[in-house]
Amino acid sequence: MPVFLEQLLSNGTTTASVFASVHSHSVDAFFVAAEELGARMICGKVMMDRNCPDYLQDTPESAYHDSKSLIERWHGNGRAMYAITPRFAPTSSPEQLKKAGQLANEHPDTFIQTHMSENLSEIAWIKSLYPDHRDYLDVYQSFDLARDRSLFGHCVHLQDREYQALAESGSTITFCPSSNLFLGSGLFDYQRAKDHNIPISIASDIGAGTSLSLFTNQSDAYKICQLQGISLDPFESLYRCTQGAADAMGLSHLIGNLNPGTEADFIELDIKASPILHQRLVRCNDLAEQLFAISILSDERVIAATYLNGKLVYKKGSKICGHNSTNGLRYLSNGSM
């Protein structure tokens, strides 16, 4: 867990929505490590009771009780926030999704995170598993899992009704461009989601993506839009990774910006770390050109430092991770965790 969090920070990500494993102790380990860093993180135990290896299965009842215990232990404890996490509808029985919805109704300020409409074969699978439902989203809706603070990953192949229903529910689409390109899932219809005023955030889906860097994912998002005749504005692209993501999750009063009273999570950039980026930036004429160059040509090399709640937790060339009660920040040399 410390290694994963270090990778997030070294890529400039200060808050992430994270799928843990099906095991409760994976959530405990993640939040303990995040607490040591002082990081505001969202995480949840995966709920998965079918169509998976036996050793990764839980049950509707065990998933409910384990998740409820984790919510009571972690949600709102310091900067920790819990996400009810059915992996996706094909790996949860109707009985388990009903339990997930029960949790959501009992704890309405928690998040819900899952996947939806990533590829066409998955959608066909959903139709075979849930033949009485109108579409993929309808499965989640029928179990009270589509609401504000619901985060639906991918959403590449949505039907007309689903766009409208997502907008009405207040749910968020988590656009994972690098993952979609790597797997050949399809091209997310960014403009159509935007036209329906659905909140959109840009994410890495590192389980299937190729980079934790949101700069790299912005670049891939731009390319996906270009293939559909849309030019993604650099200000808008940055917004989808910062305040826009925080707005979508109802957290912009805490994170995603540097407004008075927020928690001062921010990064410093070293634009000379990427020679091609530096060469381009010195020829830019305005801020829009600069942001475009940064969004297209940057990666983890440009992250000079990362701060959480105003405290330095990562500095390029050294690892600065965590607090302790007597010495403040703990400095760790390269290669040690």
Residue 153: the pLDDT is 98
Task: Give domain status of residue 254, yes or no.
Answer: no
Are 234 and 148 within one domain? Answer: yes
Are 237 and 109 within one domain? Answer: yes
- Of the three residues 248, 279, 304, the one that is the final residue of a domain is 248
Residue 1: the pLDDT is 66
Pairing of strands 17-19, 41-44: parallel
Are 117 and 194 within one domain? Answer: yes
pLDDT at residue 71 greater than cutoff 90:
yes
Q: How does pLDDT run across 219-234, given as a tens digit for each residue? A: 999 999 999 999 999 9
E strand or H helix at 164: helix 160-169
Please tell me whether the overall predicted TM-score, pTM, comes out greater than 0.85 for this model. Answer: yes
Q: How does pLDDT run across 109-139, given as a tens digit for each residue? A: 999 999 999 999 999 999 999 999 999 999 9
Helix/strand/coil percent split, the chain, to 5: 45, 20, 40
Are 243 and 274 within one domain? Answer: no
Number of domains in the chain: 2
Are 11 and 77 within one domain? Answer: yes
Range of the domain at 304: 267-332
Are 180 and 283 within one domain? Answer: no
Are 297 and 153 within one domain? Answer: no
Whether residue 151 contacts residue 83, with contact meaning beta carbons closer than 8 Å, is answered with yes
Residue 2: the pLDDT is 84
Q: Confidence class of residue 206 from pLDDT cuts 50, 70 and 90?
A: confident
What does each C-alpha distance from 216 to 41, 130, 173, 196, 248 come to in angstroms? 21, 36, 19, 26, 21
Task: Give domain status of residue 194, yes or no.
Answer: yes
Task: Give domain status of residue 260, yes or no.
Answer: no
Are 316 and 169 within one domain? Answer: no
Pairing of strands 311-315, 303-308: antiparallel
